[in-house]
Each structure stands twice: as structure tokens, then as C-alpha cells.
A = this chain, B = another copy of it.
Amino acid sequence: MKALVYKGPGEKALENRPKPEITAPTDAIVTITKTTICGTDLHILKGDVPSCQPGRILGHEGVGIIDQIGSGVTTFKPGDRVLISCISACGKCVYCRKNMYSHCTTGGWILGNTIDGTQAEFVRIPYADTSLYLIPEGADEEVLVMLSDILPTGFECGVLNGKVQPGSTIAIIGAGPVGLAALLTAQFYSPAEIIVIDLDDNRLAVAKRFGATSVINSADGKALETVMKITGDRGVDTAIEAVGIPATFELCTTIIAPGGTIANVGVHGTKVDLHLENLWDRNVTITTQLVNTVSTPMLLNVVGAHKIDPKLLITHHFKLDDILDAYETFVKAANTKALKVIIET
């Protein structure tokens, strides 16, 4: 089968690889129909994710059709259309039983990382019963690709951790795909003000279309002042960090109102300064999280009820044969205005 393979820092190739096989009774083999590329795939390609070794098929998002199931799989049968979660959950370990699937002792984020992933014609999914979701009849499958990772990530790590509430004032720092996913899913809770901050005017324009009530281009270094002006010097109840660098995290710690919550979503590669000399008495909460995807059934319901339209996140389409072009487009997002690209097999 065709597969996009990580060949070491800076290198990737579309190769022919053997079709995966069932290796445990709880496995399923899924025929991929649509997949996509994540910012994390770019991190891997830079060599920043040591757990992912050369030779690995990338990708942890997608939808497909059950091809085969192991003897222990009871929830699915060949032919079922399924959504693939980016997180594999055994359903048995101490973390899975607390609904912290991201810390599953034998799973977690392994797809396209420590085992072969979804940017291929087929993929082996461990713990299929607890890591796949049946696609409801009539659903738009392209939209559901957004539910493999970015929607639950924006929602769980940003919106739920950030305790977005009706009538509250929130800021989202970073209007990339995950920041925009937080923007879409924050609206489940009807905040009164949604401020989106980024350096890219195109992405800010997209944020406006997605429901931001104010957008701020922070290139002028005045984001803090602007937020304070918008909020009557009170700051925001929730600040969602969706970039992953010190400057944006530290911005969050200055715009947060007393009693507020900073929900970190960004993947950080270095330490940040935490000014506890200013924050110790501010009654603030800071959270970090790798997505658990426990919200997937709920997101299927809400998307099914057309409460949000994640299709807005999809900007480009490619065939698997052209996946190298898809990567090129996704990498050069500032020029191509790419958010999420759909890759069809």
C-alpha cells in the first residue's frame, strides 16, 4: 500500500509498504478514506519528537472503513464506517478508567508516532473498541476528520479546561487550526466576548468569520493594552494559549482577570517564565493537557445537530498520491492560507 513515511529529520517520502495485519485480538485494520496533516507531523519532520523514529508512517487523524477485526473486537464489524481517534485507549488501565486516555499506559498518542499512522491506505488501530467511533448515517465524513484531533483538542484542552461559561469573556491566543477549533467549540457555551490574537491578518479575518467578537494583531506589541481596553481593565475570564511559545503564554498571564483560567493548548519546546510574584494572590488557574478525546461522542452529537460547522476549517483537498504537495501547502500556510487539508485515498 501507499504510505507517507518519515525518513529522518527533514525527510519524508511516499512509499510502498506492506498492508498492516492484526497483531492483537483487540486490533482492527481500517481502510483509510480521508486523512489530514497536523502541526505535530511537522514537528516530527523537524526531528523534534524523539519517540517517532525514521521509517514510521505518519498521521493520527482520519476516517475510514473497517477492513478486518481481531477476535476480541465486539463493537465493530467489517464494512462499518469509523472515525479514528488520535488517542488509543486500552479502556482498562488506571488512567483510562479515569477518562485520561492520553495517559493510557499502553496507548495514548501512539498512532503515527510509535506505531504506523493514518497517512496510508490502511492502518492498524489498537484497542479498536475504545479508539474508534461509528460514523452516524448521513454524516459529512470530511467534517468528521476534524474530530480525530483538533476539535477535541481545542475543546477539551482549551474550552473545558478554560471553563468557558455563558456570558464570560475569553481570549484565544493563536488562530491556527487548533486555536480556531477552540474558537468554534467555545461557542457551545455562549461566551459574551471572544477576543482572538494572532500575527497573521488572514487568520484573524477567518477568526472573525468563525465568531470572534474582537481580533487583535499583536505585531505592534500592544496586545495587553488592547485587551485591557476591550475588557474595561478587568482582563479575561479565560485565556486559551494555542501557540506554544513563551511570549504567548506570558501574555496569557497578564491578561487574565482575578479568578480566571489559563488553558494551555500549545505544544511547548522550552520553559516559560511564570511571574508568581504577580500571580500568587490573583486566584488564577493554569491547566495543561494532551487531549483525551473523551468528548468525541459529544462532539459527534453537536456536529450532527449542526451547532457548529467545522467544515470552515478545511481549505484544501488532495489525493494520497499528491500528499507531498499537501505537506507543501500546509507548511506554507502563511502564503497558501491553508488551515486543514483533506487527503483522500
Contact = CB atoms under 8 A, between A and B. Distances in A.
Interface of A: 25-26, 71-72, 74-75, 91-92, 94-95, 97-100, 102-103, 129-130, 165-168, 187-190, 192-193, 213, 244, 249, 258-259, 264, 266-277, 279-290, 292, 294, 297-302, 304-305, 307
Given A275-B271, A280-B288, A301-B167, A130 B91 contact: yes
A280 B301 contact: no
A297 B288 CA distance: 25
Contacts of A259: 95, 98, 100, 103
Q: Which of A130, A165, A288 has the most CB of B within 10 A?
A: A288
B277 A271 contact: yes
A268 B264 contact: no
Contact of A299 (B102, B130, B167, B193): B167
B103 A166 contact: no
Contacts of A94: 297
A288 B284 contact: yes
Copy number in the complex reads 4
A54 to B, nearest CB: 23
A294 B167 CA distance: 13
A269 B258 contact: no
B258 A268 contact: no
Contacts of A25: 25, 71-72
A268 B277 CA distance: 5
B289 A283 contact: yes
A277 B269 contact: yes
A274 B287 CA distance: 12
A325 to B, nearest CB: 31
Contacts of A279: 268, 288
B276 A272 contact: yes
Nearest to A130: B92
A193 B272 contact: no
A193 B305 CA distance: 8
Given A92-B130, A213-B305, A271-B277, A166 B188 contact: yes
A168 B301 CA distance: 8
16 contacts: A71-B71, A71-B72, A95-B259, A97-B294, A99-B99, A102-B283, A166-B298, A167-B299, A167-B305, A192-B301, A192-B304, A264-B280, A270-B276, A270-B277, A272-B274, A273-B274
A166 B189 contact: yes
A167 B99 contact: no
